[in-house]
Amino acid sequence: MIPTQRNSEIIRSEAHRLGFEFVGFARAERLETEARNLEKWLSRNAHGRMAYMENHFDLRTDPTLLVPGAKSVICLTFNYFTPEKQADPEAPKIATYAYGEDYHHIVKDKLKALFQFMKTEIGEIDGRCFVDSAPVMEREWAKRAGLGWNGRNTLTIHPKRGSFFFLAEIICDLPLLYDDPIRDHCGTCRRCIDACPTEAISPEGYFLDASRCISYLTIELRDEIPAAFKGKMDDWMFGCEVCQEVCPWNSFSERHSEPAFEPHPDLLTLSRGDWQELTQDVFGKIFKKSAVKRAKFEGLKRNIAFLNDV
């Protein structure tokens, strides 16, 4: 067996053992088309107040600048789907990915374990691990590595699992057997476009005005939420999943098997009134290890107040 084939197979096998569901390999090279698309997106101020999206443009579009001598981008998915929902249908809603512990830490630890395995089994490898925390165009790499296509809602969609998963990458100087992209299967479907409460997805799809996205408004935006969005938030207090909920491909989602993603025992039982009366102590207890801490107590209270003030 040739080394690239063997290395690809043992990496894929170990990744599955660690809990990653799908694994793909792409050649590390500058993203020419994607760079032009990013320029267009930024020029239209679709990134809102996320000024950091303007930084490190060259690093975002060329992995060999992140890891000199890089030959491969290993792309992986980690499932977070659960059918569990908040008990009170009138309670302000929180995105499923934030039910349990912060995915940045959980997935990053597994990714580091995979990279250590690679160095132990294969030899000295130079590389870096990424989980949504560095200038990496992860959805573009997932597409190139055959992990799905970027749908009309701009999320990566896998034909056997939909889109309820995290993306992770290892950029390294190890040559591997590269996968082929999957063709777009959105067809004529417009459900995500028609369902978006704030019309953040362009009429044709494939372009997201993040400054109108509920996830941006409830997490990224530090200023007051613009009054123009009153009555349009669909009761989301942290994140939003409307475009995923209506996507036909998510009928293939299966429950995750990661204990760390199980919600705090009290999270799903809080009523609308409980959330309105949320205290700093309760916030700290429920979201001690959660990604919700990114919004901070004050931010979550701001979001809840905005939903109530219609």
**111: Cβ contacts below 8 Å, ≥ 6 apart:** 76, 129, 130, 131, 168, 170
Given the residues 62, 88, 109, 132, select the one marked as catalytic.
132
Which residue intervals of 158-241 are DSSP H helices? 191-195, 214-215
132 carries an active-site annotation: yes
Pairing of β 127-130 and β 149-150: unpaired
- Closest by CA to 137, choosing from 236, 57, 249, is 57
Pairing of β 165-172 and β 127-130: antiparallel
Contact 244, 163 (CB under 8 A): yes
Is 208 strand, coil or helix?
strand
Contact 55, 49 (CB under 8 A): no
- Closest by CA to 39, choosing from 57, 21, 62, 13, is 57
Alpha carbons 77 and 21: distance in angstroms, whole number: 6
Alpha carbons 298 and 261: distance in angstroms, whole number: 24
**238: Cβ contacts below 8 Å, ≥ 6 apart:** 93, 94, 95, 98, 218, 219, 292, 295, 300, 303
Amino acid at 174: L
- C-alpha distances in angstroms, 256 versus 14, 16, 105, 266, 294? 18, 13, 17, 20, 23
Catalytic residues: 132
